[in-house]
């Protein structure tokens, strides 16, 4: 096994055979760790984002944290139940893109895909930046290196996901469940300590740098919009049904239910605790910055082992929250690429049974955002959640349309495939059941549409317009890529009346000088064609005379063409000669044979003037030209 292959196996793991793909499927505990880490981790910053909005109106607005948290929990239940129905309706995988495309058409499907892809990139950037903030809460000295820390974590996540879903799920489970346990312990402690005492008054709050904001409906809606980041990742389980062990739909549905239950308990608990103990959020640039969770833990636990433990697990879960995007982004890219709207390379499954190109693309774009926004969570949050609520709305509308169509067929005694209903199914009863399902998804679509409008309205000036622009650009890119593939299909399709073309061929051997490697190339050239020519580009008359003498001395039975190059270029004379050959005979296929030295050690290649590389690049754009390398190995 080559050294390069051994290193690859150490880094990414040994290849997994296709027939063993079922062994890589996820059980519920691992599935929750892989697909729900984004949603679960949002409790670490969603309450803080609400407080950062409310604090703009002073102490009088702070008690709204709990009502806003409860409103968000209602939204969680609506969205969660809607996606549960999606899982049951698409047991083989009903991602947002597939549901929307199948039921609403290609254009809405592409809008949903673009919105969701944008949100996945932001998921990684926001989660990593939040994790960096948690680290800074523990070790303030690392604040100047926030960007470098964020990029390093993204690189590690890429590596872990390239090793495979099952392996990453097993590793991440420990950190995910440790975080859940610590948050539940913190909430339980706050309830125990706070139950017997009055709420801590907020008292004086310093005037924000941008001035006080009016306390009114817009501020409340803005706080609610900030909380909606907690719903990002809710769709991930429905998108990744195929990753679960059989029965996949049943296991995915149970995982979704468990995730929603944990979210409700943690989010309501943290919201009540932060309000009861009068927690006021700090700004990331403040000296000695601490997150809301850090401030709350410090107040009820002090700065002991539990305080350190919850910050460590929070940092890890926020870093690993990005894994939801790494699990779903490559899969979604493969679906869109399958339909011809993204590069086909994104459909490739690597030897570890993961979409490796999609993982790498996600890592690069997320890293770019971390650099541009300097790993500042608060700067990234306004861009967040809008894309996912657009996809929520389209997906739920698609499901409502699907159930409406199924209801119409059920009234005729047919299932969704147009076949007679199974024995025992009563058309009227089936129709009523489908009406209920349609109503649930239609209500979910309406609610998420309203939330998307609220997000766009309240966050537009903060940067949400960037998402609208990014989505428009992505749709344009999708269209251009599909146009190229349609053009390619039209050019390459075999039509009636076509036949195999008859070509003549000629071998053109590039000869820098006569040596053992070139003698080997001459033997190959003569064996593979009848029209064979040697071609030497001379920069001075001495070299031309020398190669002529060597050609005659060794009795090479092949014409030798010597081209003069007054401007000392090796490439231009060769290109001109080939163009002249093809101009004289348009049906001629010219095979250019390029000898290339391969040194014993890779670093020795720096000592060789390998003109072959430049020649291959230049010849690659010529029609009717085939390039062949004859390598000779130096021992």
> 243-263 burial, b for 16+ CB within 10 Å, e for fewer?
bbbeebbebbbbbbebbbebb
Query: Over the chain, what is the mean pLDDT?
Result: 80
The per-residue pLDDT for 17 is 41
Phi, psi (deg, nearest 5) at residue 503 = -120, 155
Give the least confident one: 61-65, 377-381, 386-390, 430-434: 377-381
Give the least confident one: 14-28, 271-285, 605-619: 14-28
Query: Residue 167 corresponds to which tokens in the numbers above?
Result: 């392996």
The per-residue pLDDT for 187 is 92
* pLDDT tens per residue across span 304-320: 899 889 888 887 887 77
pLDDT tier for residue 261 given thresholds of 50, 70 and 90: very high
* pLDDT tens per residue across span 527-558: 877 888 988 888 777 777 888 888 888 888 88
User: Higher model confidence: residue 344 or residue 480?
Assistant: 480
The per-residue pLDDT for 605 is 66
Query: Residue 432 corresponds to which tokens in the numbers above?
Result: 């009523």
Vertex 238: Cα angle to 233 and 240 (nearest 5) = 90
Question: Does the pLDDT at position 110 exceed 90?
Answer: yes
The per-residue pLDDT for 20 is 43
The per-residue pLDDT for 260 is 92
The per-residue pLDDT for 283 is 67
The per-residue pLDDT for 106 is 92
* pLDDT tens per residue across span 445-467: 888 888 888 878 877 777 777 88
The per-residue pLDDT for 108 is 93
Q: Could you tell me if 84 and 242 are in contact, meaning their C-beta atoms sit under 8 angstroms apart?
A: no
The percentage of the chain sitting over the pLDDT mark of 90, rounded to a whole number, equals 10
pLDDT tier for residue 140 given thresholds of 50, 70 and 90: confident
The CATH code that applies to domain 504-633 is 3.40.50.620
Q: How far apart are CA 123 and CA 386, in angstroms?
A: 12
Q: How far apart are CA 11 and CA 484, in angstroms?
A: 36
Question: Does the pLDDT at position 341 exceed 90?
Answer: yes
Q: How far apart are CA 298 and CA 104, in angstroms?
A: 50
User: Higher model confidence: residue 210 or residue 501?
Assistant: 501
81 by Cβ neighbours in 10 Å (0-12 / 13-18 / 19+) ranks as middle
Q: How far apart are CA 510 and CA 533, in angstroms?
A: 9
Q: How far apart are CA 441 and CA 421, in angstroms?
A: 23
The per-residue pLDDT for 515 is 81
Q: In terms of Cα–Cα distance, which of 507, 510, 511 is closest to 525?
A: 507
Give the least confident one: 12-26, 29-43, 474-488: 12-26
User: Higher model confidence: residue 333 or residue 201?
Assistant: 333
The percentage of the chain sitting over the pLDDT mark of 70, rounded to a whole number, equals 87
User: Higher model confidence: residue 532 or residue 199?
Assistant: 532
The per-residue pLDDT for 170 is 64
3-state DSSP assignment of residue 598: strand
Domain boundaries, the chain: 28-404+432-487, 504-633
Q: In terms of Cα–Cα distance, which of 534, 487, 494 is closest to 510?
A: 534
pLDDT tier for residue 19 given thresholds of 50, 70 and 90: very low
Whether the bond into 265 is cis, omega within 30 of 0: no
* pLDDT tens per residue across span 557-601: 888 888 887 777 778 888 888 889 888 888 888 888 888 777 777
Question: In sequence order, what DSSP letters do the residues of 222-253 get, joined into one string?
Answer: HHHHHHGGGGTTTTHHHHTGGGBPSSHHHHHH
pLDDT tier for residue 7 given thresholds of 50, 70 and 90: very low
3-state DSSP assignment of residue 537: strand
Highest mean pLDDT out of 6-15, 125-134, 362-371, 514-523 = 362-371
Mean pLDDT of 35-44: 81
Mean pLDDT of 109-119: 89
Phi, psi (deg, nearest 5) at residue 506 = -145, 140
The per-residue pLDDT for 352 is 54
Q: Could you tell me if 375 and 146 are in contact, meaning their C-beta atoms sit under 8 angstroms apart?
A: yes
Question: Does the pLDDT at position 23 exceed 50?
Answer: no
The per-residue pLDDT for 63 is 82
Mean pLDDT of 266-294: 79
Q: In terms of Cα–Cα distance, which of 145, 125, 89, 92 is closest to 405?
A: 89
Longest dimension (CA), the chain: 106
Q: Which helix (H) or strand (E) holds 621?
A: none
What topology does CATH give the domain 28-404+432-487?
Amino acid/polyamine transporter I (1.20.1740)
How far CA 372 is from CA of 126, 323, 379, in Å, comes to 12, 21, 10
> 191-225 burial, b for 16+ CB within 10 Å, e for fewer?
eeebeeeeeeebeebeeeeeeebeeeeebbbbbbb
Query: Residue 407 corresponds to which tokens in the numbers above?
Result: 């209801």
User: Higher model confidence: residue 7 or residue 510?
Assistant: 510
The per-residue pLDDT for 210 is 58
* pLDDT tens per residue across span 297-307: 888 898 889 98
Q: Could you tell me if 421 and 427 are in contact, meaning their C-beta atoms sit under 8 angstroms apart?
A: yes
User: Higher model confidence: residue 620 or residue 371?
Assistant: 371
Give the least confident one: 5-19, 367-381, 489-503: 5-19
CA 99, 104, 110, 113: dihedral to nearest 10 degrees? -30
Q: Which helix (H) or strand (E) holds 378?
A: helix 377-380
How far CA 524 is from CA of 138, 503, 507, 550, in Å, comes to 68, 20, 10, 19
Mean pLDDT of 344-349: 80
The per-residue pLDDT for 350 is 59
Question: Does the pLDDT at position 21 exceed 50?
Answer: no
Q: Could you tell me if 39 and 324 are in contact, meaning their C-beta atoms sit under 8 angstroms apart?
A: yes
pTM: 0.73
Question: Does the pLDDT at position 189 exceed 70?
Answer: yes
CA 474, 479, 480, 482: dihedral to nearest 10 degrees? 120
């Amino acid at each position: 096994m080559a050294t390069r292959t051994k290193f690859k196996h150490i880094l990414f793991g040994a290849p997994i055979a296709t027939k063993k793909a079922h062994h890589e499927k996820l059980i519920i505990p691992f599935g929750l760790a892989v697909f729900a880490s984004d949603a679960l981790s949002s409790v670490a910053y969603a309450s803080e984002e609400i407080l950062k909005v409310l604090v703009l109106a002073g102490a009088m607005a702070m008690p709204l944290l709990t009502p806003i948290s409860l409103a968000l929990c209602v939204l969680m239940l609506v969205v969660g139940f809607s996606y549960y129905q999606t899982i049951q309706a698409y047991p083989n995988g009903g991602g947002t893109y597939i549901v929307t495309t199948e039921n609403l058409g290609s254009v809405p499907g592409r809008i949903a895909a673009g919105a969701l892809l944008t949100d996945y990139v932001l998921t990684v950037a926001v989660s990593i930046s939040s994790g960096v903030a948690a680290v800074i809460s523990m070790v303030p000295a690392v604040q100047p290196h926030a960007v470098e820390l964020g990029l390093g974590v993204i690189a590690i996540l890429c590596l872990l996901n390239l090793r495979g879903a099952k392996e990453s799920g097993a590793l991440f489970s420990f950190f995910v469940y440790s975080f859940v346990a610590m948050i539940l312990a913190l909430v339980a402690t706050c309830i125990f300590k706070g139950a017997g005492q009055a709420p801590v008054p907020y008292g004086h709050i310093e005037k924000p740098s941008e001035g006080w904001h009016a306390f009114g409906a817009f501020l409340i809606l803005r706080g609610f919009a900030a909380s909606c980041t907690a719903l990002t990742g809710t769709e991930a389980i429905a998108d990744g049904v195929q990753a679960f062990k059989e029965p996949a739909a049943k296991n995915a549905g149970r995982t979704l239910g468990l995730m929603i239950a944990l979210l409700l308990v943690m989010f309501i608990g943290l919201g009540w605790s932060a309000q009861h103990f009068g927690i006021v959020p700090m700004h990331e640039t403040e000296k000695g910055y601490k997150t809301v969770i850090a401030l709350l833990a410090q107040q009820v636990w002090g700065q002991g082992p539990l305080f350190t433990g919850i910050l460590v697990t929070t940092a890890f879960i926020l870093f690993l929250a990005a894994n939801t995007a790494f699990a779903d982004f490559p899969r979604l890219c493969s679906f869109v690429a399958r339909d011809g709207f993204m590069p086909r390379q994104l459909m490739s499954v690597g030897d570890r049974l993961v979409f490796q190109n999609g993982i790498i693309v996600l890592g690069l774009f997320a890293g770019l955002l971390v650099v541009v926004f300097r790993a500042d969570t608060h700067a990234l949050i306004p861009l967040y959640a809008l894309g996912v609520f657009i996809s929520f709305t389209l997906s739920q509308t698609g499901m409502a349309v699907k159930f409406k169509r199924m209801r119409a067929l059920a009234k005729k005694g047919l299932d969704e495939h147009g076949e007679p209903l199974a024995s025992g199914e009563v058309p009227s009863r089936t129709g009523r059941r489908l009406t209920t399902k349609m109503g649930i998804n239609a209500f979910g679509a309406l609610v998420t549409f309203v939330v998307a409008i609220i997000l766009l309205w309240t966050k537009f000036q903060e940067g949400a317009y960037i998402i609208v622009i990014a989505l428009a650009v992505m749709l344009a890119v999708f269209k251009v890529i599909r146009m190229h593939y349609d053009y390619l299909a039209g050019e390459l399709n075999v039509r009636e009346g076509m036949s195999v073309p008859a070509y003549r061929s000629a071998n053109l051997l590039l000869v820098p000088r006569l040596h053992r490697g070139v003698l080997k190339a001459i033997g190959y050239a003569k064996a593979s064609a009848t029209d064979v020519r040697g071609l030497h580009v001379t920069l001075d008359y001495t070299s031309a005379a020398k190669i002529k003498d060597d050609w005659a001395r060794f009795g090479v039975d092949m014409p030798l063409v010597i081209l003069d190059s007054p401007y000392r270029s090796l490439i231009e004379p060769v290109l001109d000669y080939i163009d002249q050959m093809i101009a004289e005979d348009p049906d001629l296929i010219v095979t250019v044979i390029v000898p290339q030295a391969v040194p014993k050690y890779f670093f020795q290649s720096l000592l060789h003037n390998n003109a072959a590389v430049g020649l291959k690049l230049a010849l690659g754009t010529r029609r009717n030209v085939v390039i062949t390398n004859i390598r000779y190995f130096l021992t």
